[in-house]
Amino acid sequence: MLAVVLAGAAWGQAPNPEAVGVVVVLQNGAATGLDISFPAGTTAASVNQEAASLARWTGWALGAPETHVAPGVTSAHLAVTGSGGPVTPEQAVWAIVGALAHYGRLGVVFMGVEAAPATSTFENRYVRLEQSGGQGVQSYQVFIKNAGFRNLAELQRVERPQQMARRPGTSVLAWLLLVIASVAVGVAAYLISKGLTLRASQTSHKGRH
């Protein structure tokens, strides 16, 4: 179950202009893992703080981050050890945005989605969120305009069109491709490793019978 109200948890008004990429792995509708790409220079201590923030906003129990610091990027894998059951990307993305809204741009991708809705865009005074997807993947480009919201209800508030700053829709941006690519290898390695471990366990189990 996702946390709904987190009063006082918002960050300062002006977001950091750098981008973060997040890949969420779903199995049977429940989150099982997060792979995150942070800007260069992000320390392991900062990753731990971000993980704590994600746990608060999502309500998920997260394992200790497996952090890798490399030139140009800091990446982390977090196992979701308890998510409270199935969740849709449309629900989970808001909690992830709430936790990481101090960054100006987010690319959030959900893998293992059973059915992605039609392409859509949501915008209010705090955020512009562009959703697209297909073939088991659902992605979001998120632009933070104002990080001064106090809870998820404010972040998701629908406003009248004349209150919103309109601009032409954008296609998939280069920065989103870059931040997602930076964690895609880690996600693939994790899934392959998990599959190999499962098959080895099954083979061992069969061998004992």
Element of type H or E holding 111: strand 103-111
Q: Are the beta carbons of 193 and 135 closer than 8 angstroms?
A: no
Rg value, the chain, Cα: 18
DSSP 188: H
φ, ψ of residue 65 in degrees (nearest 5): -65, 135
DSSP 45-107: HHHHHHHHHHHHHH--EEPPPEEEEETTEEEEEEEEEE--S---HHHHHHHHHHHHTTEEEEE
Asked whether residue 168 is domain-assigned, the answer is no
pLDDT value for 12: 45
The residue range of the domain holding 44 is 16-155+175-198
What is the rounded CA–CA span in Å between residue 91 and residue 96?
Answer: 9
What is the rounded CA–CA span in Å between residue 70 and residue 73?
Answer: 6
Asked whether residue 24 is domain-assigned, the answer is yes
Domains in the chain, number: 1
What is the rounded CA–CA span in Å between residue 1 and residue 60?
Answer: 7
Asked whether residue 203 is domain-assigned, the answer is no
Asked whether residue 88 is domain-assigned, the answer is yes
User: Could you report the per-residue pLDDT of 144-191, keeping only the tens digit for each?
Assistant: 999 999 899 999 999 875 444 444 444 445 455 545 554 554 444 444
CA 144 to chain centre: 14
Q: Are the beta carbons of 32 and 26 closer than 8 angstroms?
A: yes
pLDDT value for 15: 58
Asked whether residue 6 is domain-assigned, the answer is no
Q: Which amino acid is at 196?
A: L
Asked whether residue 161 is domain-assigned, the answer is no
Tens of pLDDT along the chain (209 residues) come to 554 434 334 444 555 668 899 999 998 889 999 999 898 889 999 999 999 999 999 999 999 999 988 787 888 999 999 987 888 999 999 999 999 999 989 999 998 888 777 788 999 999 999 998 877 888 899 999 999 998 999 999 998 754 444 444 444 454 555 455 545 544 444 444 445 444 555 555 555 55
Residue with tokens 């088991």: 136
The CA-based diameter of the chain, rounded to the nearest angstrom, is: 69
What is the rounded CA–CA span in Å between residue 69 and residue 71?
Answer: 7
Asked whether residue 4 is domain-assigned, the answer is no
Q: How many CA within 13 A on the CB side of residue 60?
A: 26
Asked whether residue 204 is domain-assigned, the answer is no
